[in-house]
């Protein structure tokens, strides 16, 4: 069973989590080019929370949550901005455990719902199917505009 480290701005110094989070940079694990902003800077947002799953002391997966507010949602809600499990650790129950920890965090924060934008279809059908199996429902596409 994976262990979890709950990261957030108020916990960084006590739990030494910037080291853990930087070590488990989404960019390096996903093999993407480095971003100019560090992980610690991104998570300095008071509404951001990162939950890291580890297996045998090594980072195995991460979920990053953000607190949002909207009238349509009836107040505060959470958004999953990143969920990633190392390829060799997939299909071992890590992602469902990360989602459960995210739901617990959301309940503790009084969120009304948890939303996620699924990647482009049909290329990432497995990802969409994962969320649907876990109780999420499709509500439409997510759009973006670079500024």
Distance in angstroms (rounded) separating the CA atoms of residues 21 and 7: 8
Contacts of 27 (CB under 8 A, 6+ apart): 33, 34, 35
Would you state the structure tokens that stand for residue 138, as one six-digit string?
């499709």
Please indicate, yes or no, if residue 52 is contained in any of the structural domains: yes
Q: What does the pLDDT average to over 33-51?
A: 65
Q: What does the pLDDT average to over 98-105?
A: 90
* pLDDT the model gives residue 7: 43
Q: What does the pLDDT average to over 21-43?
A: 53
Distance in angstroms (rounded) separating the CA atoms of residues 119 and 83: 11
Number of structural domains in the chain: 1
CATH number of the structural domain spanning residue 99: 3.40.630.30
- Across 1-5, 28-32, 38-42, 92-96, least confident range: 1-5
Q: Which of 2-6, 36-40, 76-80, 89-93 has the largest mean confidence?
A: 76-80
Contacts of 87 (CB under 8 A, 6+ apart): none
- List the strands of the sheet with 114-116, edge to edge: 3-7, 48-55, 58-70, 75-85, 114-116
* pLDDT the model gives residue 23: 47
| pLDDT above 60: residue 106 | yes
pLDDT in tens, 55-71: 777 778 888 899 999 99
| pLDDT above 60: residue 39 | yes
Please indicate, yes or no, if residue 133 is contained in any of the structural domains: no
| pLDDT above 80: residue 42 | no
Domain that holds residue 73: 3-116
Angle 138-139-143 (CA atoms, 0-180°, nearest 5)?
Answer: 110
């Amino acid at each position: 069973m994976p262990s979890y480290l709950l990261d957030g701005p108020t916990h960084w110094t006590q739990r030494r989590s910037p080291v853990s989070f930087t070590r488990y940079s989404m960019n390096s694990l996903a093999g993407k080019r480095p971003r100019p902003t560090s992980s610690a800077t991104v998570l300095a947002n008071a509404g951001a929370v990162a939950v890291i799953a580890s297996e045998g002391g090594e980072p195995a997966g991460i979920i990053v949550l953000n607190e949002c507010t909207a009238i349509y949602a009836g107040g505060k809600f959470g958004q999953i901005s990143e969920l990633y499990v190392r390829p060799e650790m997939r299909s071992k129950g890590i992602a469902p455990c990360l989602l459960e920890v995210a739901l617990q965090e959301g309940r503790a924060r009084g969120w009304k719902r948890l939303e996620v934008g699924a990647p482009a279809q049909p290329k990432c059908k497995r990802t969409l199917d994962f969320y649907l199996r876990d109780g999420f429902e499709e509500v439409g596409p997510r759009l973006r505009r670079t500024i």
